[in-house]
Amino acid sequence: MAFTLPLGSAAPDFSLPGVDHATHALQDFTDATVLIVVFTCNHCHYAYGMDDRLNEYASRMRDRGVAVVAINSNDTANHPDDSFDDMIVQHAAKGLVFPYLRDESQDVARAYGALKTPHFFVFDRDRRLRYTGRFDDNPRDAAKATTRDLPAAVDAILAGESVAVPLTNPIGCNVKWRGQDEHWMPAEACDLV
């Protein structure tokens, strides 16, 4: 079985604490026509560079039934900037309009097969995975992006169409797994990055 959640799979359940001091679960997003789950963090320049763009996109797409939830699963022993307290600070400083959740056990990241920060998973109304990968081909600099991978996938889902490119390689820093060195990832994942 592939490390990353296969296309067509049901969204794995989660129940995680958010920076708003509330617990958020998959079922909290049942009203959304499309749900975007993104694994991200505080310290990675790719993830940080995506925050403003994702925030603008989430704000613009909310009225079209698109919900976004961000999850930070990084180990904090070697990456203290990814602590829950620092997540609260970053969420407030950036004015993020979507929930930012902490996956301390890393179980949710494993269930989804998160490889990078950021790594996006887009689910339809039935919570089946229709797209996974990157937002576009330049998470650090929107002006240099030449693709619109995630927005194109969401537009297709909202239109009831097939996603033309349902799988792309996420671009970013590796998820920081507890007890593993900086460059570790499951062997199954190496073909995907």
Tell me how far apart the alpha carbons of residues 2 and 6 are, in angstroms, rounded to a whole number: 7
CA neighbor of 25 nearest in space, from 38, 35, 14:
14
Asked if 78 and 45 touch (Cβ cutoff 8 Å), the reply is no
Asked if 129 and 95 touch (Cβ cutoff 8 Å), the reply is no
What HEC string does the chain produce?
CCCCCCCCCECCCCEEEECCCCEEEHHHHCCCCEEEEEECCCCCHHHHHHHHHHHHHHHHHHHHCEEEEEEECCCCCCCHHHCHHHHHHHHHHHCCCCCEEECCCCHHHHHHCCCEECEEEEECCCCEEEEEECCCCCCCCHHHCCCCHHHHHHHHHHCCCCCCCCECCCCCEECCCCCCCCCCCCHHHHHHC
Tell me how far apart the alpha carbons of residues 61 and 154 are, in angstroms, rounded to a whole number: 10
Each domain of the chain, given as residue ranges in start order, spans: 15-192
The tens digit of pLDDT for each residue in 76-85 reads 999 999 999 9
Asked if 101 and 24 touch (Cβ cutoff 8 Å), the reply is yes
Residue for token pair 């617990």: 23
CA neighbor of 86 nearest in space, from 143, 139, 48:
48
pLDDT band at 181 (very low <50, low <70, confident <90, very high): low
The tens digit of pLDDT for each residue in 11-62 reads 999 999 999 999 999 999 999 999 999 999 998 999 988 999 999 999 999 9
| CATH of range 15-192; options 3.30.450.150, 3.40.30.10, 3.40.190.10, 3.40.50.300 | 3.40.30.10
Tell me how far apart the alpha carbons of residues 23 and 127 are, in angstroms, rounded to a whole number: 20
What is the rounded end-to-end Cα distance, in angstroms, of the chain? 16
Please name every residue paired with 36 in a beta bridge, in sequence order, or none if there are none. 68, 122
Asked if 77 and 32 touch (Cβ cutoff 8 Å), the reply is no
- pLDDT at position 156 over 90: yes
- pLDDT at position 176 over 80: yes
- pLDDT at position 92 over 50: yes
pTM score:
0.91
